[in-house]
Amino acid sequence: MSKARSLQFVKYQKQMIIQKIYNHLLLNKIYLTNPGLYYGKTGCLLFFAHYARLFEDDVNGEIVSEITDDIFASVGAETAMGIQQGVCGIGWGVEYILQNRLMEGDSDEILADLDQMILRKEVKTIVSHPDFTGIVRYVAVRLTSPCGGGTDIPFPQDYLTELYQAAANHPASMSDLSIQNDINTIRKTMAAGRFSEKPLVLSCDMLGQVSIDRFPLIPLGLYNGLSGLGIKLLLEDRPVIS
């Protein structure tokens, strides 16, 4: 087999795997009860958003809209706050989609209800909770979003001051570089106002490692799941995974 034919065959195989993932997620997404980013519907949404961008048609656009509406409808007072399974991860996922132009919209408007859910959690009551660092991450992402509707900061100054002080004294701030960066972002915003960063990227740590050989026993979500594997295949050689 010539090199050209061999490459063509590999490409065909990859397309078949992507289509298998698409079909399986489409049929089984209704069984995802967790709305979150790593293990739930938001991770699944990221796959369909990328698929819809690469294979544009009305049907795929409707699927993305349907999943988005379903995610927001399922968020309530009992929903966790963290990045992996909760409100902050849902907001991060929406920001990722908007910042990478997979969907158009004003993130300040779309995420207003989630922002309010964060604000209703008093900093002093959550600082020792495992979700605290996820809240710091989410707030930093919102403060530097290029998709907001204006220059107004989506969180009150007194809240940011309290969050900054709590985060700066949190044990994670001593060793976690990402939290240190988030703390610096909050500090800069308090001093100089809102500013924009580069679009969010999916890290390999968020996607995990999984092989299609385990299909159909692979979980549906982003981390070590079909959604993450599908995104990897869709975005090979593209600069949105780090």
Assess whether pLDDT exceeds 60 at residue 61: yes
Look at residue 155 and tell me if it is in a domain. yes
Q: How do residues 85-97 score in pLDDT, each as one tens digit? A: 999 999 999 999 9
Residue 154 belongs to what domain range?
Answer: 11-234
Look at residue 50 and tell me if it is in a domain. yes
Assess whether pLDDT exceeds 80 at residue 164: yes
Look at residue 158 and tell me if it is in a domain. yes
Binned at pLDDT 50, 70 and 90, residue 79 comes out as very high
Whole-angstrom distance, CA of residue 91 vs CA of residue 110: 9
Q: What is the DSSP string of 55-69?
A: S--HHHHHHHHHHHH
Residue 211: per-residue pLDDT: 87
Going by the DSSP 8-state scheme, the letter that residue 81 receives in this structure is -
Instruction: Using DSSP, state whether 43 is helix, strand or coil.
Output: helix
Please compute the mean of the pLDDT values over residues 34-44 and round it to a whole number.
97
Please compute the mean of the pLDDT values over residues 65-76 and round it to a whole number.
96
Look at residue 121 and tell me if it is in a domain. yes
- The CB-side HSE value for 130 (13 A sphere, CA atoms) comes to 6
Binned at pLDDT 50, 70 and 90, residue 7 comes out as low
Dihedral angle at the C-alpha atoms of 108, 111, 117, 121, nearest 10 degrees? -60
Q: How do residues 227-236 score in pLDDT, each as one tens digit? A: 999 999 999 8
Q: Which token pair is 78?
A: 């009992």
When the pLDDT of each residue in the chain is averaged and rounded to a whole number, the result is 91
Residue 191: per-residue pLDDT: 92
Please compute the mean of the pLDDT values over residues 184-207 and round it to a whole number.
92
Q: Quick check: 219 and 32 in contact, CB under 8 A?
A: no
Going by the DSSP 8-state scheme, the letter that residue 238 receives in this structure is S
Binned at pLDDT 50, 70 and 90, residue 12 comes out as confident
Residue 6: per-residue pLDDT: 64
Q: Which of 81, 195, 102, 188 is nearest to 148 (CA)?
A: 195
Look at residue 152 and tell me if it is in a domain. yes
Look at residue 77 and tell me if it is in a domain. yes
Integer-rounded Cα radius of gyration of the chain: 19
Look at residue 194 and tell me if it is in a domain. yes
Look at residue 6 and tell me if it is in a domain. no
List C-alpha distances in Å: 38 to 35, 113, 114, 184: 9, 21, 18, 25
Assess whether pLDDT exceeds 80 at residue 183: yes
Please compute the mean of the pLDDT values over residues 20-24 and round it to a whole number.
96
Q: Which token pair is 139?
A: 């707030």
Residue 234: per-residue pLDDT: 93
Per-position b or e across 39-75, b if 16+ CB within 10 A of its CB: bbbbbbbbbbbbbbbeeeeeebeebbeebbeebeeeb
Residue 107: per-residue pLDDT: 96
- Count: domains in the chain: 1
Residue 149: per-residue pLDDT: 79
